[in-house]
Chains A and B, each alone.
Chain A
Amino acid sequence: MTSPSAPSSAVVLEGVRKEFSAKVALDDVSLDVPAGAFLVLLGPSGSGKTTLLRCLAGIERPTSGIVSIDGRVVAGPGVFVAPERRRLAMVFQDYALWPHLSVARNVAFPLAGTSRTKGERTRLVGDLLERVGIGHLAERFPNELSGGEQQRVALARALAADVGLVLFDEPLSNLDADRREQLRVEIATLTRAVGATAVYITHDQSEAFALADRIGVLNHGRLVQLGAPEEIYRRPASAFVARFTGLAGEFPVRVVEPVGRHLFRVTPLFAPATTLSARAVEPLGRDGDVRLFVRSAGVTLLPETVRDGLPGTIRDVAFTGRGYEHVVEVGLGATLAKVFSASRYERNAAVRITLDPESCLVMPADVAEESR
């Protein structure tokens, strides 16, 4: 298990739609995942990401559209390939470990029917369990393990399948923060080490940015943006994507003048005497209501003694381990959240803030409302 052993599989979805009675869970979703890529599908609850993953796995049958894995149509008009014939593996949200089988037998499950001898299987299972750090738990039963250990068993079982595509259904959502971080790294390194294509779903944007080569954002069953993590963060295709991938705040502004192809000078209504630079996500006219979206990463907190920036007051502060996150009230009652600083500013302290134009996005208010 130290080198890729199965060719990774490219995944293509074309116009996939899935309906449950009257409810449309997926609506015309098209995407392609190159072989060996790590795609994260990001979206809120009910956005259709689990349904999409289950359609890929063959657990659900799409109402229409085509799903291809490694060039072979596995679901389409008149075609439906059963899950066991799709040559993929999956890590389930609830782990789905069989409670009557030991850890070793859970992991060995996908190896049945392969050409490996019993000895080879035992060795492989042992190697995999060592690799995920639970070699000493091979004879235990799932209910004798902690949540993190159970998730490692599920990961080892998926890797044992030695297939070109591994699906992850919010595998870290049931774990505490410490274990999430640890297992996230292991999932990323081990999956890439075996060379498999990965499709991973989550509602946690930090998890998505940390893992993905590409991110697909889903909302109301539609794929609203697909791109590299940097692109999703810096150039969100809609207000929904901007909001879902993390904002410090969202405010009404007035356009003063364009200063570049996509750059504008704007005046926030919460501080009418100041102007800011911001990048337009959508085409922007000079008239009409406009909204400003501010990323947390683009907000810099400065002591009151500094002359630059807008004056503000600290309303709350939280220690995050590597520094402090502040809630800052600025101007006429506007609030910026998750403003990071390595230094602590006490509650009610007067401060100043500066905003990086690259982290300030503007779009017409009506467009922003539509994508809510």
Chain B
Amino acid sequence: MLGLLIVAPVVSFLLLATSPRLFQQGASYFTLRYIREALSGSTGRGIFDSLWVSTLVAVFSTALATLVAWLVQRTNVYGRRVWGFLMWLLLLVPTWMMTLGWGDLLQPYGAATIVGVNSHWLYGEFFGPLGIVAVLTTAALPFAYFIVSAAMHGLGSEFEDAARIHGAGRVRTMRTVLPIIAPALWSALAIGFAETMSDFGVAFTLGYHANFPMATYTLFAAISNFPANFSVAAVIALILIVSTIPPIALQARAARGRSYAVISGRTRTPRRREFGPVARLGVTAGLAALFVFALGAPIVGAVAGSFVRNLGIYTASGVHLTTAAYQAIVHPSITGKSIGAPLALSNQLGVVVATATGVLAYVLGRRLGAGHGGWGQRVTDVFLLGSVAIPGIVLGVGYIFFYNLSAISTHLVSLYQTLPLLMLALTANALPGQTRFLAGPLAQVQPSLAEAARVHGARRWRTWRVAQLPLVARILVWGWLLTFAKTISELAISQVLYPPSQQPVSVTIQAYLGNDQLGTGTAMTVLTLVEMLGVIGVVLGLFRLLTPRGWRRIGWSGVRS
């Protein structure tokens, strides 16, 4: 199954990099021509840009995430639950939405102008490396935060106590303790790098408009331009995947031969650093400022911008507010600009993909968590780890290529330019990450809980329903919501695989934005975000209402009895 979903499309596509004749895409069975071609001109610059931007973003996001995790986990900063929630929200907002929000906020005659702020000077800076690094850092921040935060949560205060008791000051204590969570820091760096390398949203919007080519966009351009050059696209895809090997290898090397097992039955709950009233207010304000920058500004920018008449266009009478953009998209009969069908389609995709991914990831996650499987399990494990590093755009283009091969479309299955193919690609894209997301919590469920149910007379179904499901229900629901939200706002795969006349909402929005209909695109973005958050709220509300009290007592890391 994983072979058809991921391996075959990606590998056959990657083979084009040096062997285009294998699939009738060129004259040579082996050539380095496309590698040279990909490394020169704007594609070469795109690869170079992606590499240095990703390195910088990985370092910035890990440093920032470590600071935030320490403040939230180890100090008495106000609103610790709120910051955790906002990190989740940040995780759900796609980078193209952030870019759009920032653009709406800063552009001349945009949202900032409503309150009389002249942001011309910043707008120019935003459409360049500075804005790109800033947006991508905020996008990578939640990934790094959740990794570092989990490590800090498990790190008892005895290590700090021991250092302090033996004469270390604060700085030396930090230098002593931080290496204990080194694997988490390396992991955060690796994921920050891989996520940034594979990001398409910023490359497609901000990067393109700023004339700052990035690898994922040049890959898209290679197959979108006429004539399409799949071999150059394959070289870029190969570089995108291979580029994630060094940070992962560094992570593995850092952890090799040492034990970082810090959680045991004797681990004490970490003691919090007690800030004084002024310092406490200060660091709380600092955190608030971070989230205003990362989340508040783009959301406010998008929402405010969606109400500006002729957003981004000079009007002699000044900036005026209007609901015209919303009226246009909710009354399609007047303008033909409907959000209804694309949003409904994206919701359908979200539900189907999140459900299919949830079921498959649960099965695979349990296999991974079982911990004593044979080579089959190890292969699955390595494969899923590697697949996380495959960018969506690579998978999407791989699907176009593989399912358009005559051997496949004529003799096996004809899925090219159909909705099922888009669903399959989105599922394949979400599956590795979702499996990794579920594997940890699933592994935490003590096997003895199921064994106790079986021994006391419960059959398999009742054992699962009574002794297993309640323990993992919350993480399954969160996993479903995460995939649902990511699918609705997914751009890379949707952009290359949507069937004719069936555009998902993210593609529709980009089409309006590309046609200088900024207000319409922004209003659609806001409604999509509101709808997405609404579904999340409803599902979480239903979970709270419909599940027994005991189910809700089980925390993410509290599944042990």
Point out residues on A near B: beta carbons under 8 Å: 57-59, 82-84, 86-90, 92-102, 105, 109-110, 112-113, 141-143, 157-158, 161, 167
* Docked-complex contact A59 and B553, CB < 8 angstroms: no
* Docked-complex contact A141 and B553, CB < 8 angstroms: yes
Given A84-B455, A97-B452, A98-B467, 18 more A-B residue pairs with CB atoms under 8 Å apart are A82-B459, A86-B455, A89-B455, A89-B456, A90-B452, A96-B448, A96-B451, A96-B561, A98-B452, A98-B453, A98-B550, A99-B553, A100-B470, A101-B466, A109-B453, A112-B462, A157-B456, A161-B457
Cα–Cα, bound, A228→B451 (Å): 31
* Docked-complex contact B550 and A102, CB < 8 angstroms: yes
A83, A95, A98: the one within 8 Å of B455 (CB): A83
Asked whether B15 is an interface residue with its Cβ less than 8 Å from the other chain, the reply is: no
Could you give, for residues 503-542 of chain B, a 1 whenever the CB lies within 8 Å of some chain A CB and a 0 otherwise? 0000000000000000000000000000000000000000
* Docked-complex contact A94 and B471, CB < 8 angstroms: no
Q: Which 6 A-B pairs have the closest CB atoms?
A: A100-B550, A96-B452, A96-B448, A83-B454, A110-B456, A100-B470
Distance in Å: Cβ of A165 to nearest Cβ of chain B: 10
Distance in Å: Cβ of B546 to nearest Cβ of chain A: 14
* Docked-complex contact B553 and A100, CB < 8 angstroms: yes
Q: Which of B84-142 contact A (CB under 8 A)?
A: none
Which residues of the other chain, A, contact B451 by a CB distance below 8 angstroms? 57, 59, 83, 90, 92, 96
Which residues of the other chain, B, contact A167 by a CB distance below 8 angstroms? 455
Cα–Cα, bound, A361→B551 (Å): 58
What are 7 A-B pairs with beta-carbon distances under 8 A? A59-B455, A89-B456, A94-B448, A98-B452, A98-B470, A100-B550, A100-B553
Which residues of the other chain, A, contact B553 by a CB distance below 8 angstroms? 99-100, 141, 143
Q: Which of B154-168 contact A (CB under 8 A)?
A: none
* Docked-complex contact B454 and A84, CB < 8 angstroms: yes
Point out residues on B near A: beta carbons under 8 Å: 446, 448-449, 451-459, 462, 466-467, 470-471, 548, 550-551, 553-554, 558-561
Which residues of the other chain, B, contact A102 by a CB distance below 8 angstroms? 550
Which residues of the other chain, A, contact B551 by a CB distance below 8 angstroms? 100
* Docked-complex contact B554 and A58, CB < 8 angstroms: no
Cα–Cα, bound, A88→B453 (Å): 11
* Docked-complex contact B466 and A82, CB < 8 angstroms: no
Distance in Å: Cβ of B276 to nearest Cβ of chain A: 34
Question: What residue of chain A has the Cβ atom nearest to residue B452's Cβ?
Answer: A96
Task: Among A59, A86, A158, find the residue whose CB has the most chain B CB atoms closer than 10 A.
Answer: A59
Which residues of the other chain, B, contact A158 by a CB distance below 8 angstroms? 456
Query: Quick one: given A98-B449, A98-B470, are A161 and B456 in contact (CB under 8 Å)?
Result: yes
Question: What residue of chain A has the Cβ atom nearest to residue B551's Cβ?
Answer: A100
Which residues of the other chain, A, contact B559 by a CB distance below 8 angstroms? 99
Which residues of the other chain, A, contact B554 by a CB distance below 8 angstroms? 99-100
Cα–Cα, bound, A113→B456 (Å): 11
Distance in Å: Cβ of B236 to nearest Cβ of chain A: 44
* Docked-complex contact B561 and A58, CB < 8 angstroms: no
Which residues of the other chain, B, contact A98 by a CB distance below 8 angstroms? 449, 452-453, 466-467, 470-471, 550, 561
Cα–Cα, bound, A88→B456 (Å): 7
Which residues of the other chain, A, contact B561 by a CB distance below 8 angstroms? 94-99, 142-143
